[in-house]
Structure 1
Amino acid sequence: MTHVLIGVPAREEDKALWEAVPGCEFLYDEAFDAESLAWADVIFGVVPAKKLALCRRLKWIQFPAAGVDYYCMRRGAALPAGVTLTNATGAFGQRIAEHALAAVLGLYNNFPQYRDMQRAGGFENLGMPLSLHGSTVLMIGAGDIGTAFARLTRPFGCRNIAVRRTKAPLGEPFDETYTLRELPALLPQADAVLCALPATRETQHVMGGEQFALMKRASVFVNVGRGSAVDTDALASALQAGRPGAAALDVTDPEPLPAGHPLRQCPNVFITPHIAGLGFGHRPEVTDYITSLFTQNLRLFLAGKPLKNEVDMALGYTKKASESAPVAGRRDV
């Protein structure tokens, strides 16, 4: 019998779905008590770093979010040897892409400045707004979020450029594909730049002072990936210098920003508190997706087959399906 610890809020319909999987015994414990962790072969949830050493039988964790830097980048949070980690990539892309598109359109139309003017009692035309139609849009990170964003910009007739780890062409909805090394040649072409990178050593401060200085004066920069991909102080200086022209940040480094940070005072910036892709237990469609993913993975686990969304711990994000090694020895009978 495989011991499955559920550490996320569970609806009655979720419990019925999971408990219909044969060969499993389930325990529901969002507090991750020591006895529960020592008992579990499988965990669905976010095990606190300080409790990982209590996991004596653990073979697989299903993480209920996409970003797994909690385990890949954080000191003292390394998973026990032999433990497989899967994430929820695919659950959040559409929602986050919609947030990013709203941010770009809002910045193009000076919405933050008009809101400030409204509160100050003003009534003034700030000039001709920009248009997304026919723009060049640069997606730094062409995974779930970047791809969903490119689909949304397609109807605007945008030239969609993907920047990713490898240069293999992606096809629709992208027109061109490049690597991070080619970023300096691409930034001067972009009218809008979406940063949707995971937090890894490779992506640390991908966007810094040198990169921002290459952007157009009227361009906009949106970060919905991880704050660590951006040199925050460099962005504040760049915005004051006019390159880029505006920014929208759903993630920052540090998070939240200190009360007196210059970015908080920039009129051409708006900051949201990491809410573009609310996680498990918030939006029903997201919860349904992740619940279904876990159920599929649980059946694969019991059958000794490769799991969906297996994370490459060295890279810090999900492997391609073709790169995922078979998961052997996962049936406990």
Structure 2
Amino acid sequence: MMKRILVTLPITEYHKKRLERNVTNCSFQYVPLSEVTIDMVQNSEIIVGNVPVSYISASNNLELLQLNSAGADAYILPGVLSSGTILTNATGAYGKTVAEHMFGIMMCLQKKLHLYRDDRVTGEWNDYGTVTSISNAIVTVIGLGDIGLYFAGMAKALGAYVIGIKRRKSDCPKQVDELHLMEDFYEIIPKADIIVSFLPNTPSTYHLYNAEFFSKMKNTGIFLNGGRGSAVDQDALLAAVQNQDISAAGLDVTDPEPLPSEHPLWKEKNIMITPHVSGSYHLPETLDKIVEIAAANIENHLAGTPLKNLIDFETGYCK
């Protein structure tokens, strides 16, 4: 029986050729996500792309759902996928783009460039005083997946001492000087000049960064979040910055998204916000990497061989 493959990515002819190169007895349907219908989803055996959760409805036809995102939280909820559906994500595609984006925000905050950029609007000529350097800074990276390791590698290359925190015990990667587990979380926080999080949205990460967390940071510290907005208690973060319990914060993710225009986070001068744009396809090679992951997983699924980036439905992380 010919399998139907629905692809919702904004791909080129080159990408189509890559997806179809080693695949036989399959029909490909390329449809922009905005034009996808529930019938298309329900009639597909393989889907590449983050189709609306409500369209899946535990489809018995769906064998493989290959996400174009690293986060899989919406798809692991009970009743979304049938027990026979394999779920894979795009871990490995976003390391460079997200890490570089968050690194840029960090450098802006360290050098107070956000304040000088704001002065352009009013034409003021101010001197905001002392700045900090990444060289010899203690940088703590929470979440050492593809993105976290890329960020850690850049920080270490510029002379930072990098502390990594992850869920499971492993050998210390070369990008990290010191490795700890989440159980050491509160012991590590006071040491850091910069703390950056790349954690997904799971029950265990919800409001992990709360008033207690910010109270343990250095008052000169910078907090960055490039993972999911739900990990941060935003009221606690705002209070920490306003009370100068920490120096500044940089967010590419918020809760909710979009962040309402009247939200007080927008008004705080020492909180830099970008609207969840670090990933997506803003760096063109990211899409190339997603297509490569998807092509390999389609081929492996059809051949009955192991797939990359299998999602553990209990944790929301790759197995």
TM-score, normalised relative to structure 1 = 0.90
Q: How does 1:322-333 map to 2 (within 5 A)?
A: none
Q: Which residue matches 1:272?
A: 274
Q: Residue type matched to 1:61 in 2?
A: L
Aligned equivalents of 2:15, 2:120: Cα separation in 1: 46
SS at match of 2:62: coil
Q: Which residue of 2 aligns with 1:58?
A: 62
Q: How many residue pairs align between the two structures?
A: 315
Distance in 2, Cα, partners of 1:41 & 1:238: 49
Amino acid at match of 1:65: S
Question: Deviation per CA, 1:45-84, whole angstroms, max 9, x where unpaired?
Answer: 12212211273311110101111122135xx762122111
Query: 1:125/1:38 Cα in 2 relative to 1: closer, same or farther (>3 Å)?
Result: closer
Contact 2:111/2:131, CA 8 A, preserved across alignment: yes
**Where does structure 1 lack aligned partners over 5 or more consecutive residues?**
320-333
Which residue pairs with 1:230 in the alignment? Answer: 232
Deviation of 1:102 after TM superposition, in Å, equals 1.1
Check 1:170–1:51 CA distance in 2 against 1; reply closer, same or farther (3 A cut): same
Aligned to 1:316: 316
Amino acid at match of 2:24: P
TM-score after normalising by structure 2:
0.94
1:180, CA displacement in angstroms? 1.9
Q: Is the 1:245–1:268 Cα contact (8 Å) retained in structure 2?
A: yes
Map 1:55-134; keep pairs closer than 5 Å: 55-72=59-76, 78-134=80-136
**Does the 8 A contact of 1:29 with 1:36 survive in 2?**
no
Range moving further from structure 2, 33-42 or 199-208: 33-42
Residues 58, 82 of structure 2: 8 Å contact kept: no
Which deviates the most, 19-28 or 282-291?
A: 19-28
Of 170, 181, 184, the residue aligned with 1:182 is 184
Distance in 2, Cα, partners of 1:138 & 1:169: 17
Where structure 2 has 5 or more consecutive residues not aligned to the other structure, the ranges are none
Alpha-carbon displacement from aligned partner over 1:165-204 (angstroms, at most 9, x marks no partner): 1232332111111122211111110000001101111111
Q: Which moved more, 1:260-269 or 1:88-97?
A: 260-269
Distance 1:257 1:18, change over 3 A: closer
- Residue 47 of structure 2 aligns with an amino acid whose one-letter code is I
Cα offset, 1:24, TM superposition = 1.8
d(CA) in 2 for partners of 1:171, 1:98: 19
**In 1, Cα distance between the equivalents of 2:41 and 2:108?**
46
- The separation in 2 between residues aligned to 1:38 and 1:118, in whole angstroms, is 52
* Letter matched to residue 13 of structure 2: E
Match of 1:161 in 2: 163
Percent identity of paired positions between Structure 1 and Structure 2: 38
- Determine the C-alpha separation between the residues in 2 that align with 1:229 and 1:39: 36
Map of 2:42 onto structure 1: 38
Query: Is the counterpart of residue 28 in structure 1 residue 30 in structure 2?
Result: yes
Contact 1:86 1:309 in 2 (8 A): yes
SS of the aligned residue for 1:317 comes to: coil
More displaced stretch, 144-153 vs 11-20: 11-20
Matching residue of 1:241: 243
Query: How far did residue 144 of structure 1 move?
Result: 1.0
Residues 295-325 of structure 1: CA deviation (Å, up to 9, x unaligned):
1111111110111111111111211xxxxxx
